[in-house]
Each structure stands twice: as C-alpha cells, then as structure tokens.
Amino acid sequence: MHAAIFDLDGTLVDSYDAHYEAWRTISATHGVAVTVDDYYRHFGRRNEDLLRECWLRAGKGELTADEIHALDHEKEAAYRALVAHRFPIMDGARELVASLRTAGFRTAVGSSGPPANVALAIEGLALANAFDAVVTGRDVKRSKPDPECFLLAAERLSVPPERCVVFEDAPAGIAAAKAAGMRCIAITSKGHTVERQGEADIVFPTVKTVTVAAVRALLA
C-alpha cells in the first residue's frame, strides 16, 4: 500500500493571493505592515511566527498567547470570506486526487492550516469523500519544517513513511517531508519557485502535469 499526502495551500488550492490580501487587510487595521517578503518567507508555516515578527518590528511589543489567538482568528476569517464564494482550485487538482485513488493510493491532507480552512478547502474542491485522513494545524504541536504533520498523516493512514509521497510547494513543507523519510513532489506556485524547491525529489510546473506513473516511479 502506498499513500499520497497533500498540503493544500499552493498545491491543491491557489490561495497565495487571498492569504496575502487577508494579511495585508488585518495588519493595516492594527497599524502593522506585513510586506510581500514577510508573507513569502512564512508561507506554508503557522501564523504565530509571522505575527510575532511583524508586530514586534512595528513596536507593538511581544504578543501574548491570547493576542496571537485573536489575530490568527481574525486573519483566517478574512481569508475564508475572500474565497468562500469563488474558491481558487488548482487546475487538475480534483483529477489528480481521483486518479491516485483509482490507482490504489490511500490519500490524506497534511496541512498547517486551521480546521475551518481545511474543511472549506475540501468542500471547495468537492473532495469530501476523497481523503482517508486529514491533519490540520490543530492536530500538531510543531509546525513545518518539523515532520510531525506528515508523520501523523502516515500514522492515521497506517502506511509507513517510506511508502508515502508528499505534495508540497513551500520549502518548509518540502523539508518536513524529507525529515519524515518520505518522497516529495513539489508544485511550482506563485509563492515558491523551482530554485527554492531544490530539496524535492521532483518538481512539476503545475498540478495538471503530474501523472500517476511519475508518482509510482518515485516510490518504486
């Protein structure tokens, strides 16, 4: 048995612009600037790191756990409002997941996002019954590049790490997959270029160009 574990943002969901717009909007209301570079460096990781860095730089001092929770909730609610009525699906995402399942792969989501975002993504992708396991940011204590997220997904799938392939776009996620002892396929996205995805086993320019044969060959 083999498994495919999918990050959502930048792999199945074209969420880069919507996430940045949400960050830009909510930070401005608090008198804080989140730059494109800030967003780029933290994309695919937990929000806490970006919040601490940008709020401290703006002279707001160290954020408390309650403040981080409130700001995190505010930002993610803003994101969901942006994508709720026009969900940004990656071209070929549904077809790839369906093809892998037809080929006998077990499938999972391994995301650092909050449960509400993950649920919205699965609904927007129309893949409600397509994943055998789902891991969100609430399920783990350590964010990528720590491998906890992907190792937990493999455990829930009952598939050993060496039989798993991870689909990612962010360098932190790619590093997490490799640290988990898994193969990794990177998808080039708006946020991450081929040059930043060097640790992946294979880099594809789009989700649509990935084939089941290529995935099988990687795990052979």
Which amino acids are annotated catalytic? 7, 9
Is the distance from CB of 3 to CB of 165 less than 8 angstroms?
A: yes
* Closest C-alpha among 27, 61, 60 to residue 42: 27
Q: Apex CA 21: angle with CA 16 and CA 27, to 5°? A: 125
Residue 152, token pair as written in the block? 């937990």
Give the separation between CA 31 and CA 48, rounded to whole angstroms.
18
| CA dihedral sign, ordered 76, 40, 38, 108 | positive
Give the separation between CA 148 and CA 161, rounded to whole angstroms.
12
Is the distance from CB of 176 to CB of 149 less than 8 angstroms?
A: yes
User: Phi/psi zone of residue 112: left (φ > 0), alpha (ψ -120 to 50 degrees), beta?
Assistant: alpha
Kind of pairing, strands 164-168 and 133-135?
unpaired
The SS3 assignment for 207 reads helix
Q: Residue 164: phi, psi to the nearest 5?
A: -110, 145
